[in-house]
Amino acid sequence: MQYDIALFSELCDTLFEAEINQPVAKPIPTSELYNQLDLSLHKEGIIDKQLKNTLKTVIKSTPKTASKSFFNQLFGGRVGKAALGDLLAVMLNNSMYTYKVAGPQVGIEKQVLKAICKLAGYKNDSDGTFAPGGSMSNMMALIMARDHKNEAIRAEGLSKQMTLYTSKESHYSISKNAALTGIGRNQVRLVNTNSKGEMLADHLEELVSKDINEGFEPFFVNATAGTTVLGAFDNVDNISKVCKKYKLWLHVDGAYCGGVIFSSKYKHLIKGLEHSDSFSVNAHKMLGTPLSCSIIVTQHKAQLHHSFSNEADYLYQTDGDDFNLGKTSMQCGRRNDALKIWTLWKSVGTNGLETIVDKQFEMANLARDYINNHKDYTLYSFNDSISVCFNYKGIPANELCTALYENSELMVGFGKFNNQEFVRMVTINSLLEKEDILAFFKTLETFVSNELLN
Ligand SMILES: *Cc1c(COP(=O)(O)O)cnc(C)c1O
């Protein structure tokens, strides 16, 4: 093992070097992947020196999500203390289901959950858990809402057609989860948004009352804090009033931008969160931890337990339910995802997490200013968002992003809203500085003029 740790350290150096020297790895066409890299498995093993070289080659051609040229996804960068916590979790290798097996790691998870509940404005009766990702957090919310409406469903299954509501701009996991939980995709109602991509509470109410008249049973509303394309925030306050009136469970999907609860400057974007029934946030997005680190909290502690506990004599042999976290989780054996966010939080404090979140908005503001001050650009996104959407010289976004990627220049994706397609630059890497944002535009402009794309 000592040898492997030394090897790991050497491989990290290879990675760090590659991140600087070739921040966008040369993409390998899928048709050539198995020819270019030695990925096949054989009856006989290879000697350590060969293994080391193979691993180095794989590292070099793997996309560099922590590099300064990665703006492609809703995560990116590498925050040292969070990575440290995750590496430790691998070495400790606990499973979070029981106190007997995870010990103080249970306390670590509970402290994170308690602090998130507090920041969300949730009361004493709140609790939560770590899910395998934001999609699964949304599924846990949906299941709690379903059981909350009708406790018999856990034993008997669905007996009525239950309907749920989410905006047109929300994450696809809402529909997928409806299919997975027996609710059915056709029972998902897509609520219209305003011109900024925020859910319209009036239209929500219209859809709910129509469904009630037609004999459906509305039970769940999903509001989004940071929509996937534009990074828009649904108005939780207004939506919560409709939910209260019709007794609907309100979930706030903050996978992308729920991290604003840490920022005194930006938490107003999620105003009214304390009126929601559940809330999820991916620490691997705005808070900068490694994948995956998804947290779901609810104001209905008992419901979390009812929906996810199951007796198992062979597992729960010591300690109370409060410390045997398997009683409130989706999985049985569960990876320790809490240690990475806890290590970071402990190290930089709540104030440090606020700085991490604010920095992303600062960089987005800078990018928007640049776009507004340069006439070859058209801006499509809005203030108070870390998704900066634009087009350059009218070049189709899809063509531009693909060419930048294939030529190892930049990793950035494209999106669509109101039939307009645009480049979506995400300033989620809190380690980036002003010069990195300016370098992004400079690279893009030089590339376009050299390639004569325009
Ligand atoms: C990323 C995201 C999800 C899904 O989270 P995963 O961890 O990728 O499963 C859900 N909702 C929103 C708004 C997201 O941005």
Give 145-157 pLDDT, tens digit per residue: 999 999 999 999 9
Closest CA to 105 of 325, 256, 287, 308: 325
Looking at ligand 1, which residue's alpha carbon is closest to its atom 6?
134
What pLDDT, on the 0 to 100 scale, is given for residue 116?
Answer: 98
Q: 311 falls in which pLDDT band (50, 70, 90)? A: confident
pLDDT 10s digits, 47-74? 999 999 999 999 999 999 999 999 999 9
Give the whole-angstrom CA distance, residue 244 versus residue 240. Answer: 6
> What percent of the chain shows pLDDT beyond 90?
96
Closest CA to 25 of 407, 414, 422: 407
Q: Sketch the domain layout of the chain as residue ranges.
A: 2-62, 84-343, 348-452
Q: 454 falls in which pLDDT band (50, 70, 90)? A: low
CATH topology of domain 348-452: Aspartate Aminotransferase, domain 1 (3.90.1150)
Looking at ligand 1, which residue's alpha carbon is closest to its atom 4?
134
Q: How far is CA 62 from CA 23, 77, 326, 387, in A?
A: 10, 15, 35, 24
Residues 6+ apart with CB under 8 A from 156: none
Residue 205 has pLDDT above 80, yes or no: yes
User: What is the chain's mean pLDDT, rounded?
Assistant: 97
Closest CA to 113 of 101, 100, 96: 96
Class of domain 84-343: alpha beta
Range 225-236 average pLDDT: 98
* 166 C-beta closer than 6 A to ligand 1: no
Residue 453 has pLDDT above 80, yes or no: no
Range 406-421 average pLDDT: 97
Spell out the long-range contacts of 43-49 with Cβ–Cβ below 8 A and sequence spacing 24 or more.
48/3, 48/7
What pLDDT, on the 0 to 100 scale, is given for residue 198?
Answer: 98
Q: Cis check for the bond before 292: say yes or no (omega within 30 of 0).
A: yes
| Residue 77 neighbours by CB distance under 10 Å | 18
* 109 C-beta closer than 6 A to ligand 1: no
pLDDT 10s digits, 75-127? 999 999 999 999 999 999 999 999 999 999 999 999 999 999 999 999 989 99
Residue from 253, 270, 292, 360 to probe ligand 1 pocket by mutation (most atoms less than 8 Å from CB):
253
